Amino acid sequence: MDGINALIDGFGTALTPINLLYAVIGVVLGTAIGVLPGIGPAMTIALLLPLTFTLEPTQAFIMFAGIYYGGMYGGSTTSILLNTPGESASVITAIEGNLMAKKGRGAAALATAAIGSFIAGTIGTLALALVAPQIVKLAIQLGSPDYFAIMMLAFIAVTTVLGSSKIRGLASLGIGLLIGTVGIDPTSGQQRLTLGIPQLADGIDVVVVAVGLFAVGEALWIAAHLRRNPAEIIHVDGARMNREDWRRSWKPWLRGTLIGFPFGAIPAGGAEIPTFLSYAMEKKLTKHPEEFGHGAIEGVAGPEATNNASAAGGLVPLLTLGIPTTATAAVMLGAFQSYGIQPGPRLLDEQADLVWGLIASLFIGNVILLALNLPLATIWARLLNIPRPYLYAGILFFASIGAYAANTSTFDLWLLLIIGGLGFFMRRFGLPVVPAIIAIILGPVAEEQLRRALQISDGELSGLVNTPFSKVVYVIVVLLLVVPVVIDRVQSRRRGGDQGDQGDGIQDAPSLGHQHANQEGQ
């Protein structure tokens, strides 16, 4: 078990005072932004990308991962107390969690969410530590054609699995690939899509892109549709989890972990599908079906465990293959790139300190998060009193400072505004943002793999599909593209053919009010 030994070394790295400090900063920040609706881990990490100019990579990633995990904890607090999810990953939690709180069982709901998150986060991180070295062993044998195939799979999966319209998803992917292409082509040295502007020759800085799409675009979008009604917050006192609650929670926690981890590891849009599956499963398995819809604790315990496990699962492809499966992971990949580190199978060898320190700090972060959230959830909820103007003004403020600091040039500020405008219009017209950000960050890597693969095959296109692995992956890609269309056709024919929309979302999802399916967290 080389993973275990490496992990013990990792604890040595993670437990140094300075790294511990960044872990604490990360989880505190993560919980805070998790509580606040409208601000998610992807946006926060994007806003913090300027730190990568000076911070040690290990410390930066310890903090970023803390934000990722913390966001999952904080989101549940808002869901339960307010019936407005703090994060899209905790949409499902809001259903039963808020009903529990209304019945005076808020403290129990918060507790089962926090403990479930802790258990799932810990098991998920352990699974990450065990699985990652195994995947690396397989991945090390993969060549450029295989990587190119995996990246195609990531692009197609993230565009087609979720979202209400495949056309708009693919359009968003195209826009992302286009932005990723801007700059000097590293292979030939030719300028592409630079319009002759010298500042574009180096490509668009990842800070500007990520901050523009997630922070500026989102802030503008929210500003145009500011919610005016104060939500009713439920005051929580007394009535912690009793014996019965524990008895009813532990199985959903474990089942949620089991569902969340693998779903997090595949590019299927983050935590939304698995949390919904967990909810549906608990509803089916419960001995108290009459309580569902009236505040069933299983409906909180399961999905909350699931979303934390999926966060852990999402780190597997990121660290072993360099493939992001969610917006947050994509921004983290962007951070790796700005350090000049390309995550992939060699990362575990070349940056062993970084990776294992990161994983170890996730265990520590989970403990801190439990301590921060279990007794203090209602104190975190006070953040909800911050007036929106200050919140969203703060986002634009830090977005500007970060974009300017990237190259200390006002050109980047104007670029930021343009990309922010793009982000606004994408949200306005239903073009999902996640495929775009993944394409921007992964696109150039995919192009490099493509050209390397063809160099090896001496220009023969068959070189792209000459390994069994790549063949299998392309079959999956084709299935992803074709099967939903066929199902759609068959269904619409049965319905009389008059509903030719791309209704490929979760058909029987409970009514979630204002939630878009393809939004993993800003």
Partner 1 sequence: MSSSPTAAEKGGRSEYGVALLLLGLGAWAIVDALGVTDTASRGPVNARTVPIAVGLLLILMAVLLTVDLVRGGRGEAEGGEDVDLSHGSDWRTIGLLVGSFAANALLIDSLGWPISGAILFFGTTYALGARHYVRMALISIVLSVGSWYLFFLGLGIKLPVGLLKGIL
Partner 2 sequence: MAIVVGFVPRPEGHAALDRAIEEAKLRRVRLVVLNVSRGDALVDSRFASSSDWEAVKAKLEASGVEHEVAQTVEARDPADQLLRVAEETNAELIVIGLRRRTPVGKLIMGSAAQTVLLDADAPVLAVKAARD
- Residue ranges in 352-391 that form contacts with partner 2 under rule CB under 8 A: 381, 384-389
Q: Which is nearer to partner 1, 216 or 333 (CB)?
A: 216
230 binds, among partner 1, partner 2, none (CB under 5 to 8 A by kind): partner 2
Residue in 174, 183, 262, 484 binding partner 1, rule: CB under 8 A: 174
User: What contacts 160, CB < 8 A, 6 or more positions away?
Assistant: 166, 169, 480, 481, 484, 504
CA dihedral 482, 484, 490, 493 (to 10 degrees): -110
Residue 131 and residue 87 in contact, taking contact as beta carbons nearer than 8 Å: no
Q: Does 232 bind partner 2 (CB under 8 A)?
A: yes
Work out how close the CB of 84 gets to partner 2 at its nearest, in angstroms, rounded to a whole number: 7
Window 65-104: contact mask with partner 2 (x via CB under 8 A):
-----------------x-x--------------------
450 binds, among partner 2, partner 1, none (CB under 5 to 8 A by kind): partner 1
Work out how close the CB of 149 gets to partner 1 at its nearest, in angstroms, rounded to a whole number: 15
Q: Does 508 bind partner 1 (CB under 8 A)?
A: no
Residue 516 is inside which H or E element, if any? none
Q: Does 451 bind partner 1 (CB under 8 A)?
A: yes
Work out how close the CB of 222 gets to partner 2 at its nearest, in angstroms, rounded to a whole number: 12
Eight-state DSSP code of residue 232: P
Q: Which is nearer to partner 1, 17 or 429 (CB)?
A: 429
Work out how close the CB of 220 gets to partner 1 at its nearest, in angstroms, rounded to a whole number: 6
Question: How far is Cα 35 from Cα 156, in angstroms, rounded to an integer?
Answer: 32
CA dihedral 434, 443, 469, 313 (to 10 degrees): -40
Q: Does 414 bind partner 1 (CB under 8 A)?
A: yes
Question: How far is Cα 264 from Cα 277, in angstroms, rounded to an integer?
Answer: 13
Residues 77-96 that bind partner 1 (CB under 8 A): 78, 84-88
Q: Give the residue from 269, 241, 277, 386 showing the smallest Cα distance to 328.
A: 269
106 binds, among partner 1, partner 2, none (CB under 5 to 8 A by kind): none
3-state secondary structure 367-383: HHHHHHHCCCHHHHHHH
140 binds, among partner 2, partner 1, none (CB under 5 to 8 A by kind): none
480 binds, among partner 2, partner 1, none (CB under 5 to 8 A by kind): none
Residue in 20, 51, 142, 233 binding partner 2, rule: CB under 8 A: 233
User: 183 has which bridge partners?
Assistant: 192
Residues 368-397 that bind partner 1 (CB under 8 A): 387-390, 392-394, 396-397
Tokens describing residue 485 = 């269309």
Work out how close the CB of 464 gets to partner 1 at its nearest, in angstroms, rounded to a whole number: 9
24 binds, among partner 1, partner 2, none (CB under 5 to 8 A by kind): none
110 binds, among partner 1, partner 2, none (CB under 5 to 8 A by kind): none
Q: Give the residue from 334, 363, 299 showing the smallest Cα distance to 126.
A: 363
**Neighbour-count burial of 417, counting CB atoms closer than 10 A to its CB (0-12 exposed, 13-18 middle, 19+ buried):** middle
Helix axes 243-265, 272-285, angle to 10 degrees: 140
385 binds, among partner 1, partner 2, none (CB under 5 to 8 A by kind): partner 2
- Binding window for partner 2 (CB under 8 A); candidates: 91-99, 225-233, 349-357, 444-452: 225-233
Work out how close the CB of 366 gets to partner 2 at its nearest, in angstroms, rounded to a whole number: 27
Q: Which is nearer to partner 2, 82 or 372 (CB)?
A: 82
SS3 458: coil
Window 211-250: contact mask with partner 1 (x via CB under 8 A):
-----x-xxxxxxxxxxxx---------------------
Window 384-423: contact mask with partner 2 (x via CB under 8 A):
xxxxxx----------------------------------
- Binding window for partner 2 (CB under 8 A); candidates: 223-231, 314-322, 355-363, 371-379: 223-231
User: What contacts 385, CB < 8 A, 6 or more positions away?
Assistant: none
Using left for φ > 0, alpha for ψ between -120 and 50, and beta otherwise, residue 89 falls in: alpha
Q: What are phi and psi of 184, to 5 degrees?
A: -80, 130
Eight-state DSSP code of residue 289: G
SS3 258: helix
Using left for φ > 0, alpha for ψ between -120 and 50, and beta otherwise, residue 87 falls in: beta
How many residues line the site for partner 1 (CB under 8 A)? 99
One-letter identity of residue 233? I
54 binds, among partner 1, partner 2, none (CB under 5 to 8 A by kind): partner 1
The CB density around residue 345, as the number of other CB atoms within 10 Å, is 21
500 binds, among partner 2, partner 1, none (CB under 5 to 8 A by kind): partner 1
Work out how close the CB of 368 gets to partner 1 at its nearest, in angstroms, rounded to a whole number: 23
233 binds, among partner 2, partner 1, none (CB under 5 to 8 A by kind): partner 2
Question: How far is Cα 326 from Cα 267, in angstroms, rounded to an integer?
Answer: 7
Q: Does 481 bind partner 1 (CB under 8 A)?
A: no
Question: How far is Cα 83 from Cα 94, in angstroms, rounded to an integer?
Answer: 5
CA dihedral 18, 20, 26, 29 (to 10 degrees): -90
Work out how close the CB of 88 gets to partner 1 at its nearest, in angstroms, rounded to a whole number: 7
* Number of residues in the chain: 522
Residue in 189, 228, 243, 340 binding partner 2, rule: CB under 8 A: 228
**Neighbour-count burial of 499, counting CB atoms closer than 10 A to its CB (0-12 exposed, 13-18 middle, 19+ buried):** exposed
The CB density around residue 383, as the number of other CB atoms within 10 Å, is 18
465 binds, among partner 1, partner 2, none (CB under 5 to 8 A by kind): none
Question: How far is Cα 205 from Cα 455, in angstroms, rounded to an integer?
Answer: 28
User: Which residues of this protein are in contact with partner 2, per CB under 8 A?
Assistant: 36-37, 82, 84, 226-233, 381, 384-389
